[in-house]
Structure 1
Amino acid sequence: MRKPRSPPRLVEQAGQSLLRDEALAVAALDELPTELFPPLFLAAFAGRHSQTLKAMVQAWPFPCLPLGALMKTQKTHQETLQAALEGLDGLLAQKIRPMRWKLKMLDLRGNVHQDFWILWSGGRTRAQVISLVGPGEAQPMPKRQKVDHSWMHPLEVVIDLCFKEDTLDEFLTYLMEWVKQRKGSVHLCCRKLKVFAKPMQNFMNLLKMVQLQCIQELDVSCTWKQTVLGSFVPHLGQMVNLYRLLLSHVCEPPCSCFTEEDHHVAQFTSQIFRLHFLQELYLDSVNFLKGHLDQMLRCLMSPLETLSLTYCQLQESDLMHLSLCMNISHLKRLDLCGISMLDISPEPLKVLLEKVSATLQTLDLDECELTDAHFNVILPALGSCSQLRTFSFCGNSISMPVLENLLQNTARVRQLHLGLYPAPLESYQGLHGAPHLGRLADLHARLKSILQELGQTRTLLLGGPLCTQCGNRTFYDPKPMQCPCHRRA
């Protein structure tokens, strides 16, 4: 039986009544109680009453207008944004401060402030309202107040940006042009910035517009040359509140000399020195650090929680410097996937694991060309990683006896709940191809039996070779969990 629909609350009825006459709604804003603004704004937004939206932006009685949380559920972003920005234009053009002018930030992020609209639309007591907006935020302001625009703080427009295409979409193009024309009175603040597209010129132009000190997370995941890196790093040093940095695929020029390489390293590391709040560092296929990793490590100004050096070319000296760095001693996540250690002594890796043993939760050593000899050295250190929860080292040539020793050495690591291990050498019929399913099932059963004897309930998956088409791996439990290519075939 369908539950009967609740009748509209009085506040909703009042809002609907006002919106039947937009001129009346706009005129009533000066006398509208603070508690009625969010419900009326929701009604105007849903009904696309542009004139009312513009007027409400100008009279908004809170420091922040979380418009992005509403736009996330509506397809007509352009229409809504245009109405809001036109309202801000009218606000910025006034020489007399409107009665309720408190707006300091227009937040266009879609994944924050959801609770604001939920709380206000559900109706709250005045005490709850005051608690929500902060002490004094719900108090009435003087009717009129003259202002001097020379001392007014710029209005902040906050947005998270993700570039996936070569050109900006209509929404971002309109916003960027609006901000550009109001430089000085409006600041574009981007907390999270992700770039997956070329050309890089769009990215570089954007960096000239945003407040670089506002950026907290930066992901640049597209191939670029060191010359482009040289143009970027001066901007990096201005991102003084950066928490997460990801750079990938920095290519070396064909005839790079040692002097040029030293210059690029010094240029990059000198900016890392200015990032006092950096806690997550991801470098993927960034090869100019080979033999120079110590320079970057010396420039770290705060302890890292995450360090990911994947598919980079490193020397044994680089790993030794890494194991001695004080600012990696509290790592929670270490990812060295794709770092070839075939001709590198396992001792630096052992020292590194011992250094982070008290805090490390996730360890990835996939595709590192590790052998039994490497693992026999680092096994005791692995057993001391008391907080380890996930460990993956697929794509390495490891025998069944070493896997058995691994389970024995990590028996005391009670936090470890997921192990992604390579299919043992004994499961393969030859040097190439997939493991023999029957043989692999027997070996998998032996490993599971050892876990049971040790009182462990962790998930144990054995990984085969990477798919040449999609780059994903087939895992066995013991039945194969095929990559998407096989499922489509």
Structure 2
Amino acid sequence: MVLSLLSLCASEVVRDHSSSPCWLSFVPMELFRPLLEASLSGCRPLAVGELVQRWPERTLRVRRKPAPNRLCIQALLLAVVRGLLDPRCALQMLDLCGLQGNEGGTGDPMGGWSLTVALCTMVVQARSGAQRAQRERKRCSDLEREQDVKRERAGNHTGDEEVAGSDTCGEEELIPGVRRRMEVERKREPTSTGSGSKQEVKDSEVLVHVRADLFVNARSWERVRGALTTSGPLNLQCRYLRVEEISVSSIKTLLGLLPQQGLLGLDVRYSNIGVAGLAELLPLLSSFPALSSLRLHYCNLDLRREQPDQGEALKELSEGLKQLQELRRLSLTALRLPGQLRVLLSSLPQPLEILELPYLSLSPADLSYLSCSHHTPTLQQLDLSENRLDEDTLSSIRRLLSQASGSLLHLSLSGCGLTDNLLGLLLPSLGCCRALRSLALALNPLSIAGLMQLVRTAVRMPSLRQLLYPNPLEDYQPGLPELPSSAQLLDWPLDDAADINFTSSQINRALKESGRSDLLLTCDLLNYDKDLVD
């Protein structure tokens, strides 16, 4: 990345913290943002704190990439609290959405859970600080009033002595004490324009709205609930809510505490909510008019076996989904709903743009419905990983790809059991996806011949920027079954004696001959990220 001259100069300015008193008071407001960005990227927490404490604009949005260092984020949050009592700070909206990085990643970024806990602590501390400041103001006010009373009494005593010595009434002597009291009272009253100093703000008045993505689990649940129910100078708002391993009742409580206008997405993971619990949550979600994303991962929704009132529960799910007018993303991972896709998707009023259905045990009837549904022509991202594909479902997949060829940007068919023969029949349909930017086909049992057929198709797709391909069967140690599953391919060791470099050289040669320097081919499943091409 080529840095601009302004960025380079800003980096030099914030490099030496000892010089900050010399320039900080004279910086125009237009330069605060590049200086803050340089401080964050250069990991200068002291400079971050000083800039944020006197932030001259009403809004501060922190860039997501690269993820700032943990120390810088902590310094920023502390500076926001200090800025509440700093008349130079004009901050009214702090936007930290999308800021959390991978916990323990390069550069020590702050993960989602840690950031949520830090935000909640900041909200509670700001409330306590405002209460202490208010008590201190009251104490000072009482002291001033007591001194004024003493001064007035002293004046009255002097006047009485003068009256005793003469027949003249000394009312003029009371005027200085009364005027002083009037001036003190006038200082205590807030101005009519609301431009009083921040020290005079009540502890329940909101000064800064803080907007972020919240990650809540059993360990942070009480702290998050406390922050959301705290009235004070900082108001915590949520854009995307992610919950893990908490009960349906706790999720319902959280939803009841969030402003209805701000929530865009709900992500529920590893929570034993079941079909009945989901049926309870969906009506609550309809009260959030902007909700566009619903993600359910490993939530114990299993309809493979007949259960009492199963039909009624499905009907309730369908009715609940029907109320989500703005839903554009639906992710269902390992919910075990074979044959029920039509019931779920047909009730959605608007076509989806992102549909993720990994480990869903999709049946041929599910795939047949999906290929003809009203969602298919608008899909930009589709994940069918770990759903077994065979000759019975191949025609549905080809029809689906044909319907979505103009809109589909990201496709994942990893672990779908695609052999050389099945993939060969599917490649013409894949080649017609003219908008496709990333394609994931890891953990499929392909030989070197099938893999090279895939690579030759990929290099002819001009929009494709990233291909996640599987290790060919020849690269594994002996002993694999004839048609290994994705789990076996994931666990089986590669053969050190095999000529893996031969596979890489063939792929690189095909890539070089095509002239596609813009196409990334990788078999690194753990570090694959489709968002890199956006």
Fold shared by both chains (TM-score > 0.5): yes
SS at match of 1:282: strand
- Cα separation, 1, equivalents of 2:289 and 2:229: 26
- Whether the 8 Å CA contact 2:437–2:465 is kept in 1: the answer is yes
Letter matched to residue 387 of structure 1: A
Q: Structure 2 vs 1, CA of residues 256 and 339 (structure 1 numbering), >3 Å: closer, same or farther?
A: closer
Offset, 1:198 = 2.3
1:434 maps to which of 493, 496, 511: 493
Q: Structure 2 vs 1, CA of residues 351 and 68 (structure 1 numbering), >3 Å: closer, same or farther?
A: closer
CA RMSD of aligned residues (A): 4.4
Residue 190 of structure 1 aligns with which residue?
A: 238
Letter matched to residue 443 of structure 2: G
- Cα separation, 2, equivalents of 1:255 and 1:460: 38
Q: Structure 2 vs 1, CA of residues 87 and 209 (structure 1 numbering), >3 Å: closer, same or farther?
A: farther
- Whether the 8 Å CA contact 1:427–1:436 is kept in 2: the answer is yes
Offset, 1:204 = 2.1
Offset, 1:215 = 1.6
Residue 328 of structure 2 aligns with which residue?
A: 279
Residue 124 of structure 2 aligns with which residue?
A: 78
Which structure carries more helix by proportion?
2
Letter matched to residue 284 of structure 1: T
Is 1:178 matched with 2:230?
A: yes
For structure 2, the 5+ residue unaligned runs are 1-11, 29-52, 59-74, 98-114, 135-189, 197-204, 481-491, 529-534
Residue 259 of structure 2 aligns with which residue?
A: 211
- Whether the 8 Å CA contact 1:347–1:377 is kept in 2: the answer is no
2:314 maps to which of 240, 265, 282: 265
Residue 246 of structure 1 aligns with which residue?
A: 295
SS at match of 1:251: coil
Residue 355 of structure 2 aligns with which residue?
A: 307
Deviations 1:404-425 (A, max 9, x none): 2222333331222221111122
Offset, 1:52 = 4.3
Letter matched to residue 209 of structure 2: D
SS at match of 2:515: coil
Offset, 1:345 = 2.3
Residue 25 of structure 2 aligns with which residue?
A: 9
SS at match of 1:363: strand
- Whether the 8 Å CA contact 2:302–2:336 is kept in 1: the answer is no
Is 1:168 matched with 2:221?
A: yes
SS at match of 1:302: coil
Deviations 1:191-246 (A, max 9, x none): 22110232443222222332345321111112322232232122123233111111
Letter matched to residue 436 of structure 1: D
Deviations 1:85-144 (A, max 9, x none): 8999xxxxxxx99632898884123xxxxxxxxxxxxxxxxxxxxxxxxxxxxxxxxxxx
Residue 281 of structure 2 aligns with which residue?
A: 232
Residue 201 of structure 1 aligns with which residue?
A: 249
Identity of aligned residues (%): 22
Residue 421 of structure 1 aligns with which residue?
A: 469
- Cα separation, 2, equivalents of 1:315 and 1:165: 35
Offset, 1:434 = 2.4
Residue 209 of structure 2 aligns with which residue?
A: 107
Is 1:459 matched with 2:505?
A: no
Residue 330 of structure 1 aligns with which residue?
A: 378
Deviations 1:27-68 (A, max 9, x none): xxxxxxxxx99669999x759779947xx8xxx999x45497
- Cα separation, 1, equivalents of 2:96 and 2:457: 51
Higher CA-based Rg: 2
SS at match of 2:407: coil
SS at match of 1:445: helix
Is 1:292 matched with 2:359?
A: no
Kindly tell me the number of residue pairs found equivalent between the two proteins. 378
SS at match of 2:429: helix
SS at match of 1:414: coil
Letter matched to residue 304 of structure 1: L
Offset, 1:454 = 2.4
For structure 1, the 5+ residue unaligned runs are 13-35, 89-95, 110-158, 464-471, 476-489
Letter matched to residue 218 of structure 2: E
Letter matched to residue 459 of structure 1: L
Residue 154 of structure 1 aligns with which residue?
A: none
- Whether the 8 Å CA contact 2:270–2:297 is kept in 1: the answer is yes
TM-score (norm 2): 0.60
Deviations 1:163-194 (A, max 9, x none): 03345354x34324436xx9xxx997532211
Letter matched to residue 308 of structure 1: E
Moved more, 452-461 or 354-363: 452-461
Offset, 1:248 = 1.4
- Cα separation, 1, equivalents of 2:503 and 2:259: 56
Offset, 1:369 = 1.7
Moved more, 312-321 or 324-333: 324-333
TM-score (norm 1): 0.65
- Cα separation, 2, equivalents of 1:338 and 1:208: 36
Q: Structure 2 vs 1, CA of residues 299 and 279 (structure 1 numbering), >3 Å: closer, same or farther?
A: same
Q: Structure 2 vs 1, CA of residues 176 and 429 (structure 1 numbering), >3 Å: closer, same or farther?
A: closer
SS at match of 1:195: strand
